[in-house]
A and B are shown apart, each in its own frame.
Chain A
Amino acid sequence: MPNQSFSVQNPNLQVAWDSTSLGLFKSCPRKYQLSIMAAAADGEIQGYETRRSSVHLIFGLHIHAAREQYDKSKALGRTHEEALYDSVRLALVLTWDHELSRPWNSDDKYKNRYTLIRALVWYLDKFADDPFKTVILASGRPAVELSFRMETGYRSATDEQFMLCGHLDRVAELNDITYIMDIKTTKNTINDDFFAKFTPDNQFSTYLLAAEVVYSLPVRALIVDAVQVAVTFSRFQRGMVTRTKGQLEEWHKDLGLWLGQAEQYARAGYWPMNDKSCNDFGGCVFRPICSHPPADRQRWLETDYKVKTWDPLVVRGDI
């Protein structure tokens, strides 16, 4: 199936953007190109990723999936205990290598199979009587992993509408006010600095703009459940991330300029390297590639990385 997120007129131009691809582009256009489209061939638009997935990514995906299972079970009328069991069972299954008949081996003393299950049980028990109630959609399904897509109001030179899309973890209500809920895991102590880093933040601004436009939420707020995962315990803290109308307008204005830049690079078929971000967050996964002479890079990519498709328009849950 063709990657629907790209222009039909210029296959270099992404027209449906999610916070991941936009974040990559803002961080480094070259990193974006390598991740999203550098492996394009025969009409398939694909990028590269490291052969070994990040333990942080795997841990985060599993805890989100397990939390989602809990909400789905609760929506089916199951008790906290039953929903917790469903959630734990899913987490155990997700962290089991069925081919090799052995557990997921993370090599990380903080984020591994055991700390995942422990964090999950402690977290769900702590919020068993959560005042934030997951919204139940008209379909009867809980509002979890909710896919959204919206027009940005910006059009390409080829007259295609740029879209913003993605998935909201969970939508919940408290006192008739709707909030977006998200979980973030960290091995560090949770303090004010932890929550401060989400303002400004590309991902949460995307979510809050989408919530306003797609769901007409009355409050521009996102609740972050921070999960500290240590070797022998987990600790939780809930924080609120807000955006004013002015902040969202500013973010949207900047988005137009970023999209214009993306179109410029797509037309040129060239995405420059931002060599000031190579060492961010422990080092870019493509730094080994960019450190080779340009003529050698493709060979190294094909040897050391694997191909992946990133299509933000693929729907996960409800839309």
Chain B
Amino acid sequence: MTSDKEPAANPLSEAAPDSLAELFSRDPLKLQDQDIGKIVSELRAERERWVVAEASGKRVYTNRQPAKPDLDLSDLEL
């Protein structure tokens, strides 16, 4: 499920703060297969959430910036 809150600046903090961020901060040469497995699992879960949200037409985060509203001179209260 996708929440309606704005995406965080750091996607890692959204995805899985406890596991992914910690695993990503470790020297990859010292990661075990099970660590890689956790990363893959988390990312797969994220994909499932995104696929469900997109299919259901719910708000899905995209990289699009919200369009700026047209500005009328009267808005400036000059």
Q: Which B residues are in CB contact (< 8 Å) with A109?
A: 9
User: Closest CB-CB distance, B60 to chain A, in whole Å?
Assistant: 7
Is there an interface contact between A85 and B31, defined as CB atoms closer than 8 Å? no
A interface majority secondary structure: helix
Residues in A with CB closer than 8 Å to B74 are: none
Given known A88-B36, A232-B14, contact A110–B29 (CB-CB < 8 A):
no
CB neighbours of B46 from chain A (8 A): 118
Residue interface mask B1-39, A partner, CB < 8 A = 1: 000000101011011000010001101110101001101
| A110 (CB) vs chain B CBs: closest residue | B63
Do A233 and B27 have beta carbons less than 8 Å apart? no
Closest to A85 in B: B36
State the main secondary structure of chain B at its contact with A. Answer: helix
Contact B27–A232 (Cβ < 8 Å) = no
The number of residue pairs between A and B whose CB atoms lie closer than 8 Å in the complex comes to 69
Of A92, A110, A114, A232, the contact of B28 (CB 8 Å cutoff):
A92
What is the CA–CA distance of A110 and B62 in the complex, to the nearest angstrom? Answer: 11
The answer to whether A92 and B31 touch across the interface, beta carbons within 8 angstroms, is yes
Of B7, B44, B60, the residue contacting A121 (CB under 8 A) is B44
| B58 CB-CB contact with A under 8 Å | no
Assess the A114–B24 pair: CB atoms within 8 A.
yes
Q: Are A231 and B43 in contact (CB under 8 A)?
A: no
Q: Give the contacting residue for A232; candidates B36, B39, B40, B50; CB below 8 A.
A: B50
A103 at the B interface (CB under 8 A): yes
Inter-chain CA distance A189–B16, complex, in Å, is: 26
Question: Within residues 89 to 136 of chain A, which ones have a CB less than 8 A from any CB in chain B?
Answer: 89, 92-93, 96, 98, 101, 103, 109-110, 113-115, 117-118, 121-122, 125
Question: A84 contacts the other chain (Cβ, under 8 Å)?
Answer: yes
Q: A117-B39, A230-B63 are in contact. Are A89 and B11 (CB under 8 A)?
A: no
Contact code string B39-62 (vs A, CB < 8 Å = 1, else 0) = 110011011001000100000111
Chain B residues lying within 8 Å of A115, measured Cβ to Cβ, are: 11
In the bound complex, what is the Cα–Cα distance between A101 and B30 (angstroms)?
12
Q: How far is the CA of A118 from the CA of B61 in the complex (A)?
A: 15
The 5 nearest A-B residue pairs measured at CB: A92-B28, A232-B61, A230-B63, A121-B43, A93-B28
Q: Can you name 30 A-B pairs with beta carbons within 8 Å?
A: A85-B33, A88-B39, A92-B24, A92-B28, A92-B36, A93-B29, A96-B29, A98-B27, A98-B29, A101-B27, A103-B24, A103-B25, A109-B9, A114-B12, A114-B15, A114-B24, A115-B11, A117-B39, A118-B11, A118-B43, A121-B39, A122-B43, A125-B44, A231-B7, A231-B11, A232-B7, A232-B60, A232-B62, A233-B54, A233-B62
